[in-house]
Amino acid sequence: MPFEADILYQDAHLLVADKPHFLPVMPAGRHVRQTLLARLVACTGNPALVPLHRIDRGTAGLVLFSCNPESRASYQRLFAERKIEKHYEALAPALPDCVFPVQRHSRLERGEPFHVMREGIGAPNALSRIDVIERCGEVWRYALEPVSGRKHQLRVHMAALGAPILGDDCYPRLLQRAPEDFSTPLQLLARRLAFIDPLNGEPRQFTSPRRLG
């Protein structure tokens, strides 16, 4: 796989990687060796690396890794208790009739086939905040904040609003793509992560330098 990941930050407890499109974070299915985790372990020589969260194979951007088992639980609690700010960017069709910012609050459940999600009936379990960064013709640049952390949440919510993210091969409908077809990346980027470091109480913020489009 020709795409490389960058290490933006590393200390004794935390590593911040900037993942490219098409590279899975963890082994899954046919992706066993070509993963972000495997590349980082080989690069750092640290077999104790563990991702603190995940983003889709198709999504680019920031992923936090724990480097030290002794401090791992402290960072994991940031995600479990929703004490970490996650900010994404996306390119998607214009929504001139929407009043922004928009909050999409709905129930996400497994769809058909099993690896896709859908909005269902019942108590909402997924909340996304959506705003516009740049209006330019038929494609706008959006700021997305997943308050909850459901699978494919931002992709489902954007499609439900009528603006599926460019390059999405699952929403609003499933498209067939060859496994090694890297020609149309999903235009979704995990741009920024911000939190209070649980070990020293200091504010931390990391930003991906990648650009969509």
| Token pair recorded at residue 12 | 């004794």
pLDDT band at 33 (very low <50, low <70, confident <90, very high): low
pLDDT of residue 180: 73
Q: Which residues contact 49 (CB under 8 A, 6 or more apart)?
A: 15, 37, 40, 41, 65, 66, 67
Amino acid identity of 145?
A: E
Domains of the chain: 6-207 (3.30.2350.10)
Residue 1 has pLDDT above 80, yes or no: no
| pLDDT value of position 174 | 84
What does the radius of gyration of the chain's CA atoms come to, in whole angstroms?
17
- Give CA–CA dist 164/131, Å, rounded: 14
pTM, full prediction: 0.93
The pLDDT value recorded for residue 112 is 87
Distance CA 19, CA 63 (A): 7
The confidence score (pLDDT) of residue 27 equals 82
